[in-house]
Amino acid sequence: MKVLVVGGGGREHALCWALKRSPNTRLVCAPGSDAIARLAERRAVGVHEIDKLAELCDSEKPDLVVVGPEAPLAAGLSDALAARGHLVFGPSRQAAAIECSKAFAKTFMAKHRIPTARFETFSDLGDAEWFIDELFEKEKAAKVVLKASGLASGKGVLICEQSQEAKAHARAMLEGSVLGGAGKTLVIEEFLRGREATLMALCDGERVLPLAACEDHKTIFDGDRGPMTGGMGVISPTPALDDATCRRVYETILLPTVRGLGAEGKPFRGLLYAGLMITADGPQVIEFNCRFGDPEIQALVRRLDDDLVELLHASARGELPSSVRFSDQTSVCVVMTAPGYPGETTTGQAITGLDEASSLKSVEIFHAGTRFDGKSWRTHSGRVLGVTAVGKNLDEARQRTYAAVEKIHFDGAHYRHDIGGRAV
């Protein structure tokens, strides 16, 4: 089977690694990366070039197209390819709104009674300020959450402890002076208390097949301190989301979401990511994504015991099976970032120790942002590497992962030392 993967980050490297394990798979990746080039043929078309991607698929004639990131889904890549007769894993533009417009997602959840934080949507500063006062003064909230409605690469959320701070941020977001205008529609919501976890599911428009539970660590520094990032490390499974809670997430969140989208004429085919807060009142949705979580998928592929090509092909065809197998091992992923991330980063530093690290027992390293200059690997973006290992339990998996991380060096390399630390 010929599979064309769109994207070139850590998620797509992990996906290509897993897809390549399927027998007789030929992989093509656009644009890919120097690391992905070791698994797939590269084509120089970027994820934003919708017309060129469609032409590429016409000439490559893949049996399946797997779209990695959200931006091309939001831009209608899936629709464009389907219209030309290609089989695509990844939702239509309308279904992708579950991630790409937080205003849509929150309104949808309210309408379908899917548990989520209480919220209001704003485009007017006066109204937003009134709601901020309401939450802080009348309801004595300790914190309020401000979210840009549009896509913001995981940087569109601010948690504020003071009314003045919240109002200043609301003004900057609504004026479009931050986040490239993604916050011109603003969602303000109640702060949820609990432990975060992720449940991702394959969907075929009707059926929902949950994958194994995992837990990301979102802030840049140990102890859950510092600014939010795209995710600094993952464990799977996690005590935050036991089997009974997964069942509840399936029944109260995943299934009603896919049924609701279907009923609204936006059938969801692809990967539905539920970012959850496990509160005293049960699981609530923090956010939905319309694609594999990264780094979640880097940890998950290490436990997947089924053929990913078959699963994604079945999902795209509308014929999902009723079960998927994961090993009972524990998987850990630790993300290494360049100096400055999640702010302005400096890149281009030489990376050493990759061969030694990847030769350690059960270790696989996925490249989020590197390039190979002919002699050595160099950092190429803020998120650089995802180092993964599996073990018979969390202790073993953590030990193996950190032993590999410690072998890898580049100037200013940063990683969290406490991935999986909450679990014990």
Q: Is residue 9 within the footprint of ligand GLY (CB under 6 A)?
A: no
Q: Quick one: 16 or 271, whose CB is closer to ligand GLY?
A: 271
* DSSP strands (E only) in 32-118: 41-42, 64-67, 88-89
Q: Is residue 253 within the footprint of ligand AMP (CB under 6 A)?
A: no
* In the complex, minimum distance from the CB of residue 187 to ligand AMP, in angstroms, rounded to a whole number: 9
Cα separation of the two ends of the chain: 42
Q: Is residue 189 within the footprint of ligand GLY (CB under 6 A)?
A: no
Query: What angle, 0 to 180 degrees and rounded to 10, lies between the N-to-C axes of helices 10-20 and 308-317?
Result: 100
Place of tokens 């650089």: 384
Cα(249)–Cα(367) distance, rounded to whole angstroms? Answer: 31
Q: In the stretch 230-269, what mask flags binding to ligand GLY with x, by CB under 6 A? A: xx--------------------------------------
**Contact 335/218 with Cβ under 8 angstroms?**
no
In the complex, which residue's CB is closest to ligand GLY? 231
Q: In the stretch 145-184, what mask flags binding to ligand GLY with x, by CB under 6 A? A: ---------x------------------------------
Q: Is residue 192 within the footprint of ligand AMP (CB under 6 A)?
A: yes
Number of residues that bind ligand GLY (CB under 6 A): 8
* In the complex, minimum distance from the CB of residue 13 to ligand GLY, in angstroms, rounded to a whole number: 14
**Contact 364/17 with Cβ under 8 angstroms?**
yes
* In the complex, minimum distance from the CB of residue 228 to ligand AMP, in angstroms, rounded to a whole number: 5
Closest-CA residue to 235 (of 155, 364, 363, 329): 329
- The alpha helices in 119-199, defined as continuous H runs, are 125-133, 163-175
Q: Is residue 79 within the footprint of ligand GLY (CB under 6 A)?
A: no
Place of tokens 């979210």: 147
Helices (H) and strands (E) in the chain, counts: 14, 23
For binding to ligand AMP (CB under 6 A), which residues are involved? 117, 145, 147, 154, 157, 189, 191-192, 196, 218, 228, 275, 286-287
For binding to ligand GLY (CB under 6 A), which residues are involved? 154, 216, 230-231, 289, 293-294, 296
